Amino acid sequence: MEQRIDADDVRHVAELARVEVTDDEARGFVDEFNDVLDYFETLDDVPDDVEAEDDFENVLRADEPEPSLSQDDALANAEETEDGYFKGPSVS
């Protein structure tokens, strides 16, 4: 049976998702991904013209500053910080 996606596709999606996968892992995912995508064919005959009943209302508060997390607390779990900021890897 023709497969929807192969190991190259898996590696491409992994790159898009910024998830490191080894070549072995990518090969391992191929059959599982095809199984799941085959199952999603169940949705093919769902009609395209279904009106979603929208009974939701936005709930907003007044745009006024309120007490928030302190800077120290917000940074407490970061591996690297500098001058009160998170420090990330360099953008090439």
Cβ(29)–Cβ(21) below 8 Å = yes
CB of 44 to another protein, least distance (A): 7
Q: How far is the CB of 64 from another protein (least distance, A)?
A: 13
* CA separation for the pair 71, 75 (Å, rounded): 6
Work out how close the CB of 69 gets to another protein at its nearest, in angstroms, rounded to a whole number: 6
Q: Which residue has the tokens 């779990």?
A: 77
Binding residues vs another protein (CB under 8 A)? 5, 10, 13-21, 25, 29, 32-33, 35-37, 39-40, 42-44, 46-48, 50-53, 58-61, 69, 73-74, 76-80, 86-92
The Cβ of residue 14 has, within 10 Å, a number of other Cβ atoms equal to 16
Tokens of 66: 């309120």
> Tokens 């169940």 appear where?
42
Residue among 23 and 40 whose Cβ is closer to another protein:
40
